[in-house]
């Protein structure tokens, strides 16, 4: 068989092994370590962790694309999806073509891997997946790793042919606040949702939003965080009032955690969008309404805390949060260092 024939057969085998997309399911957006190990020479593996972690050890053949490469700042709002031009240049830089199968990973509970794949999916790159369990699961199973970097060969000519309707902007959310067929899913911590923890100009939540922290979709497997099963996730969503007949807009602080939830929702057949501007945009725009239960409670007689302490709460800005060198010094810290600004 000549080289062309081998290429055709190899491509057919890879496509045949890809998760089916005829009906939605978690495997349409998430792959496990065994699948990746069987196909890793035929896909582009992307490590979105901090470069320092990448150089300490990564999946063999993976390229490192740090989060700064796929997050944009526009009109004062950070962590937005890159524009078409920015995205095309990013794909060319790392040798990714529209036909490339991409699998992204980070730490097991680091949602930036989902944000990268959501970005690809938004720009129409459907052959893209999140590695469930991340690097921790891969390493725990003694699968191939490396310390020397993989150097991608750049290409040119990546063209976005279409964008998927999986993103929402602030005004889109605003015009649907009182629509009964629409629900806002706030996936931040309860302390953020309630207004106790303030990481923007205002605390609280978007009026009418329901709160389901994104980590509730994960379970512990031998000390590693992996996705729960579809039935268990659907039960959680149902209890929160999230059903398939609704249009769902997920958000967090900067659209990172909510991108993970959005992919899970899409994989299970829900009509979902990720609001990537998220709370940092919404709370900092005075034209957008907020509900702040903690602020309302603090105005009642007898509420604990001095006026000075309430002012300190309001002044706990995202910038100050981001500059903290050690997450353990922050009273609301519940994750690794990459959670400083999500």
CATH of the domain at 42: 3.40.250.10
- Per-residue pLDDT at 36 exceeds 90: yes
Judge if 174 and 301 occupy the same domain.
yes
- Strands 58-59, 145-146: pairing kind: antiparallel
Where among 115, 146, 177 does a domain terminate? 146
Query: Which residues have a Cβ under 8 Å from the Cβ of 73 and sit 6 or more positions away?
Result: 79, 80
Decide if 162 is inside a domain.
no
The helix (H) or strand (E) run that includes residue 102 is strand 102-105
Judge if 215 and 108 occupy the same domain.
no
Judge if 187 and 316 occupy the same domain.
yes
Judge if 176 and 135 occupy the same domain.
no
Judge if 245 and 313 occupy the same domain.
yes
Average pLDDT over residues 144-170: 95
pLDDT band at 18 (very low <50, low <70, confident <90, very high): low
pLDDT band at 233 (very low <50, low <70, confident <90, very high): very high
Res 206: pLDDT: 98
- Per-residue pLDDT at 340 exceeds 60: no
- Per-residue pLDDT at 276 exceeds 70: yes
pLDDT band at 333 (very low <50, low <70, confident <90, very high): very low
Res 191: pLDDT: 97
Decide if 151 is inside a domain.
no
Decide if 220 is inside a domain.
yes
- pTM for this structure? 0.84
Containing structural domain, residue 109: 23-146
Judge if 100 and 140 occupy the same domain.
yes
Total number of domains constituting the chain: 2
- Per-residue pLDDT at 140 exceeds 80: yes
Res 166: pLDDT: 98
Judge if 58 and 188 occupy the same domain.
no
pLDDT band at 296 (very low <50, low <70, confident <90, very high): low
Decide if 311 is inside a domain.
yes
Sign of the torsion formed by the C-alpha atoms of 342, 215, 113 and 278: negative
Judge if 188 and 323 occupy the same domain.
yes
- Nearest one of 41, 71, 67 to 54, comparing CA atoms: 67
Judge if 61 and 187 occupy the same domain.
no
Judge if 78 and 186 occupy the same domain.
no
Res 42: pLDDT: 94
Judge if 173 and 279 occupy the same domain.
yes
Residues identified as active-site: 252
- Nearest one of 302, 320, 71 to 197, comparing CA atoms: 320
Judge if 124 and 203 occupy the same domain.
no
């Amino acid at each position: 068989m000549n080289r062309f024939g081998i290429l055709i057969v190899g491509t057919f085998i890879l496509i045949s092994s890809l998760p089916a997309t005829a009906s939605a399911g978690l495997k349409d957006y998430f792959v496990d370590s065994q699948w990746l190990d069987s196909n890793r020479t035929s896909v582009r593996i992307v490590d979105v962790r901090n470069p320092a972690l990448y150089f300490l050890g990564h999946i063999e053949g993976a390229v490192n694309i740090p989060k700064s490469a796929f997050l944009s700042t526009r009109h004062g709002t950070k962590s937005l999806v890159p524009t078409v031009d920015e995205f095309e240049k990013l794909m060319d830089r790392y040798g990714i073509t529209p036909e490339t199968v991409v699998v992204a990973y980070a730490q097991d509970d680091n949602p930036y891997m989902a944000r990268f794949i959501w970005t690809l999916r938004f720009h129409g790159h459907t052959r893209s997946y999140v590695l469930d369990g991340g690097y921790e699961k891969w390493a725990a199973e003694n699968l191939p790793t490396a310390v020397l970097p993989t150097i991608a060969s750049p290409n040119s000519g990546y063209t976005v042919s279409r964008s998927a309707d999986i993103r929402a902007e602030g005004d889109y959310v605003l015009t649907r606040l009182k629509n009964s067929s629409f629900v806002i899913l706030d996936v931040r911590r309860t302390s953020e949702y309630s207004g106790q923890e303030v990481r923007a100009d205002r605390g609280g939540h978007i009026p009418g939003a329901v709160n389901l922290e994104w980590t509730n979709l994960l379970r512990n497997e031998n000390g590693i965080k992996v996705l729960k099963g579809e039935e268990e996730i659907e039960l959680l969503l149902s209890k929160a009032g999230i059903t398939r007949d609704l249009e769902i807009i997920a958000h967090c602080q900067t659209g990172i955690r909510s991108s993970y939830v959005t992919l899970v929702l899409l994989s299970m057949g829900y009509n979902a969008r990720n609001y990537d501007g998220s709370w940092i945009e919404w709370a900092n725009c005075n034209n957008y309404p907020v509900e702040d239960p903690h602020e309302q409670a603090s105005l009642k007689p007898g509420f604990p805390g001095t006026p000075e302490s309430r002012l300190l709460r309001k002044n706990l800005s995202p910038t100050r949060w981001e500059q903290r060198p050690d997450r353990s010094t922050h009273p609301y810290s519940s994750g690794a260092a990459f959670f400083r600004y999500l």
